[in-house]
Structure 1
Amino acid sequence: MNKIIQKIKNKEAVLGVIGLGYVGLPLAVEKAKAGYKTIGFDVQEEKVNKVNRGENYIGDVVNEDLSEIVKSGLLTATTEISQVAGADCVCICVPTPLDRHQQPDISYVKASAESILPYMHKGILIVLESTTYPGTTEELLRPILESTGMKCGEDFYLAFSPERVDPGNLIYKTKNTPKVVGGVTAKCTEVAAALYEAILEAPIKQVSSPAIAEMEKILENTYRNVNIGLINELAMLCEKMDINIWEVIEAAKSKPYGFQAFYPGPGLGGHCIPLDPYYLSWKAREYGFHTSMIESSMMINDRMPAYCVERIMKLLNKSAKALNGARILALGVAYKQDIEDYRESPAIRVIDELEKLGAKVKYFDSFVPEYEESGIVKKSELVLTTSLIQEADVVVITTAHTTVDYEYVQKQARVIFDTKNAMKDVKMRDNIELL
């Protein structure tokens, strides 16, 4: 153990990152920026080639940082997993999606662990960062890695440290976001903590086991899922009562304690918040436990795209128009403002629901020029023109990008359905309806 910790402290350790996506690439960049020779692994040759050319494809990575560390030789990328043999510490940052039955798909994690088996060596540190259900590190990864004959905590070190990536966050990035680390043994925790202490400028919270760290990550996002479910349900109730939920929230925020503001919207997006509660609900069934509150919030949030379509239908009815054949302009398909990420975006679900009912939908998003849904590629309108806005029967704001001139949109639009309160500062509101 002392040998690997000393190599980390002396910046002699070679660091590896498996998976060069939204989590893995920023982590690899920070490792290299901290002065460590870093190897990024990915099965997608296109990503590997881009990294090796110094071409960035992740919004939270600074282009100049990537270019500089690649030129210096501190960061290289490869599809050859055999290079793990030369790494002292390897972080696994691969996707953990849900399958079509809404159950955790940990095949990428399993495949990553199995792929490094032939190249395991004594003293190596393996850290899983991919969000998953409590128990994955010890129940899945440990047996796979120990099949080499090496013993965890003695011959190699294994830990879980949940990623905390918030795309588009202007304050907290990989570098300065506090880290939670839980190792299989106390030695594993110590080694993993030493790694993150060396590359991050943030506190490292050590916990007693990987399961604690895994559950902690699920808690973070389930907490948000449940509270957003609550506010979405209240938004639906307030609409019936003719009460402005957004003003209600602003009033509640005046209390200096005991309240944290959450906001309604067309649903939940991103890789974590819509998915993580499913991991917990799935695992809970193993213990005969039914996560009723969590599942209720998930049902409410899943319903929101369809609810938004219902509200659009009502707006059209006021003008004696049918949804079938109506021209709809959706502003934004990214799952949150000012980013290019559209994973699990509720905006796309709203568009899909509208089109299923016969609406003719166009969208504008300067951050997402195109996206693919069910094998079909859809492209953004190139410019938010006057004619584009005026010809729409309803303009739906599905992502609150700050790059849109909302006063201009208000002046040109017939009717606007604002699901994000993006037009809160617009004074003229006769044609605006809020979620």
Structure 2
Amino acid sequence: MQELADVAQDFVGKVRDRSVVIGVIGLGYVGIPLALAALRQGIRVIGFDIDQARVDQINAGRETIKHIPMDLIVAGLAEGRFEATTDFDRLSEPDALLICVPTPLSRQREPDLSFVEQTTRAIGRRLRRGQLIVLESTTYPGTTDELMRPILEEASGLSSGTDVFLAYSPEREDPGNAQFGTSDIPKVVGGDGPAALAMANALYGALVVRTVPVSSTATAEAVKLTENIFRAVNIALVNELKQVYAAMGIDIWEVIDAAKTKPFGFMPFYPGPGLGGHCIPIDPFYLTWKAREFDIATRFIELAGQINTEMPYRVVDRLAELVDRQLGRSFSGARILVLGLAYKKNVEDMRESPALKLIELIEARGAEAAYHDPHIPAIRKSRKHGALAARPSTPLTADAIAGFDAVLIATDHDDVDYALVVAHAKLVVDTRNACARHGLTGETIFKA
């Protein structure tokens, strides 16, 4: 026990004097901000990624994600405090390894932990005594203990809690949020034993405003799922209310704006054309899958998922109805401009974006679809929407807008000239209430 305490105390001492070395595995929307938070505190960081082109771009100091500034990366490169690499044989160098890899769903909407498993095996082959390994990727309760721990121990011959230390701390990134960056958001931390918890708590305590220690890795995993299930369920509720109130001639946006004036007991959520991003459309299904192991049906969560998944279909139904009723023409053969491809405003992140599904549904019904997004010049390849890859953004000009039968607002970026759109579009179908928020009204504007 004395030896165990010494190992933890040595690690905490390294954190305190900033001599600790951190390895960040996965240099994307989670990994890069985490590396920046460490660099901001004078901590040396080694970034690991399997994408050689991305590593080369980062090592050249070039921007990889638009809303994330590269100043600290450039300074870290110059000072020798940061480097990116594809050489996973160097995993033994850092004192702490923070895993920030994707955890998508399979086509059958089951957890795909292949990236976590492959990364864990890569770590296990190079693991050295005294290292801290922290999973940040969203997953179901039990992943750290039931999946990662056996792999690490078998591959390395080391024991978690005595030789190496395992923890879970869920990422809480909100891309494009200028108010809350990585360092401003409290960090939930769960460890496999008291030493792992103490080490992870000390590490994140140096990076963020405060830590929230919990009793186990499974509890920490459950916290992240709970946060996003809460959002998914409430978004499903307002999406359903939107359909009900629309049938009654009531504007859901006006209802929400009035309801949120209540200073207690109400939190505003907003409807849209579907869910996007890497978290909210995916995370609830990690819990529903795990719950089956305990013979529990998560009916409420699954119903919310069903409502949110159906939204793109409802939007396209509404669009087709308006093209027919307002323009007097068949939807088949119509030209539709989808305005906004990213899953949320003011970012370039198109992961799980409902706009991609909207384009596919529009074209499946015989119409022609194009898109404009000031942040996404061309559609990047994705597992679910590979056929759309490389399609370019259409310039937003008066002549281009006039050439379409309808403009469907799917994402409400701030840097779009909505007045130009309304002035030249034959028909505007707005899923985000963007026109009303910009003070635009007219007979060609409809909500969906």
Look up the match of 1:110.
117
Output one character per residue of 1:207-237: Cα deviation in whole Å (capped at 9) or x when no partner: 0000110000000000000000000011111
**1:196 equivalent in alignment to 2:220:** no
2:128 counterpart of 1:121: yes
Match of 2:284 in 1: 277
Contact 1:328/1:392, CA 8 A, preserved across alignment: yes
1:309-340 deviation per Cα after TM superposition (whole angstroms, max 9, x unaligned): 00011101212211100011111100000100
User: 1:151 Cα deviation (Å)?
Assistant: 1.9
What is the CA distance between 1:96 and its match in structure 2? 0.5
Bigger shift: residues 421-430 or 133-142:
421-430
Contact kept in structure 2, 1:18 and 1:91, CA below 8 Å? yes
TM-score (norm 2): 0.95
Separation in 1 of the partners of 2:251 and 2:390?
34
Matched residue, 2:26? 19
Deviation at 1:301, TM superposition (A): 0.3
| Cα-to-partner distance string for 1:102-128 (whole Å, 9 max, x where unaligned) | 100101111111111222111110000
- Are residue 77 (structure 1) and residue 77 (structure 2) matched? no
* TM-score, normalised relative to structure 1: 0.98
- What secondary structure is seen at the aligned counterpart in 2 of 1:426? coil
State which drifts further: 247-256 or 380-389.
380-389
Structure 1 residue 32: Cα displacement: 2.1
Written as runs of structure 1 = structure 2, the 5 A alignment for 1:217-296 is 217-296=224-303
Q: Distance in 1 between matches of 2:164 and 2:332?
A: 61
Residue 339 of structure 1 aligns with which residue?
347
The SS at the match of 2:296 is coil
CA drift of 1:199 comes to 2.1
Q: Deviations over 1:145-191 (max 9, x none)?
A: 22223221121111000000101101111121110000011111110
The answer to whether the aligner puts 1:155 opposite 2:145 as a matched pair is no
Q: Post-superposition shift, 1:87?
A: 1.1
2:190 corresponds in structure 1 to: 182
Of the structure 1 ranges 27-36 and 169-178, higher mean CA displacement relative to structure 2 is found in: 27-36
Residue 310 of structure 2 corresponds to: 303
- Superimposed CA distance per residue, residues 234-266 of structure 1 (whole angstroms, 9 cap, x where no aligned partner): 111111111111111111111110000001100
**Residue 411 (str. 1) matches residue 411 (str. 2):** no
Instruction: Please give the alpha-carbon distance, in whole angstroms, between the structure 1 residues aligned to 2:59 and 2:219.
Output: 37
1:119-148: CA deviation from partner (whole Å, max 9, x where unpaired): 211111000000001000000111112222
Separation in structure 2 between the aligned mates of residue 98 and residue 428 of structure 1, nearest angstrom: 40
* 1:170 and 2:182 matched: no
Distance 1:58 1:304, change over 3 A: same
Q: What secondary structure does 2:264 align onto?
A: coil
Q: Contact 2:378–2:393 at 8 Å: present in 1 too?
A: no
The residue that corresponds to 2:37 in the other structure is: 30
Displacement of 1:389 in angstroms is 1.1
Partner amino acid for 2:196? C
Structure 1 residue 360: Cα displacement: 1.1
- Give the secondary-structure state (helix, strand or coil) at the position aligned to 1:175: helix
Moved more, 318-327 or 226-235: 318-327
Q: Paired residue for 2:434?
A: 422
Matched, 1:330 2:338: yes
Alpha-carbon distance, 1:65 to partner: 2.1
The equivalent position to 2:407 in structure 1, one of 395, 398, 402, is 395
Provide the C-alpha distance between the structure 2 equivalents of 1:423 and 1:60, rounded to a whole number of angstroms: 25
1:328 and 1:433 mapped to 2: Cα distance? 15
Deviation readout 1:277-301 (Å, 9 max, x if unpaired): 0100000000000000000010000
Q: By how many angstroms is 1:382 displaced?
A: 4.8
Q: Provide structure 1 residue ranges, at least 5 long, that are not aligned to the other structure.
A: none
Equivalent position amino acid for 1:167 in 2: P
List 4+ stretches of structure 1 deviating above 4 A: none
1:286 partner SS = helix
Aligned 1:36-51 pairs, distance under 5 A:
36-51=43-58
Displacement of 1:55 after TM fit? 1.3
Counterparts of 1:378 and 1:422, CA distance in 2: 27
Paired residues of 1:128 and 1:160 also in contact (CA < 8 A): yes
Tell me the distance in 2 between the aligned counterparts of 1:427 and 1:84.
Answer: 55
Q: Distance in 2 between matches of 1:9 and 1:60?
A: 30
Question: For 1:33 and 1:60, how far apart are their aligned partners in 2?
Answer: 17
Q: Is the 8 A contact 1:406 1:426 kept in 2?
A: no
Check the 8 A contact 1:18/1:92 in 2, yes or no: yes
Aligned-residue sequence identity (percent) comes to 44
